[in-house]
Amino acid sequence: MTENRYIGDNWDNTRPEWLIWDTRSFCGNAMVFWGPNRGGYTADINSAGLYTEAEAKAQALSRPTDRAVPLALARQHIEVTVRADSGLCGALDAMGLGRDWRDRVRGRDRRGRFVSRENAS
């Protein structure tokens, strides 16, 4: 019996509303999809390429690590997060709310030593 390597047998879409998921890679815990026009990869569903059902399923059949995923199904599983590498940490440091601020609130000096709250600077 041949493995069914696409998700959603019963979806009937002729419009480009399918994603191609490359199961070889993850970005953190995020799935990685093909980019537009079969170019590159992205974990951002809003930047991913949209393909017709026929295109996505044909790709899933041609390479065992690719899966066809209906966009509507993928959207049901979106989680919104704030990435640590997005520049937010640098912006917090620039505002004086970075690591030094956290350490002072926790009762540590700039070298990480515990100090009394009265002496924390």
What pTM was estimated for this model as a whole? 0.59
Q: Give 69's Cβ-side CA count (13 Å radius).
A: 22
pLDDT at 107: 60
- Give the span between the Cα atoms of 45 and 33, in whole angstroms: 7
Question: pLDDT higher for 95 or 46?
Answer: 46
Domain boundaries, the chain: 18-75, 84-115
Burial label for 17, CB within 10 Å (0-12, 13-18, 19+), is middle
Confidence (pLDDT) at 67: 94
Position 56 scores a pLDDT of: 94
What is the enclosing helix (H) or strand (E) of 26?
strand 18-27
The average pLDDT across 98-121 equals 56
Q: What three-state secondary structure class fits 61?
A: helix
pLDDT digits (tens, 9 = 90+) for 10-35: 444 457 899 999 999 877 778 899 99
**DSSP 8-class letter at 58:** H
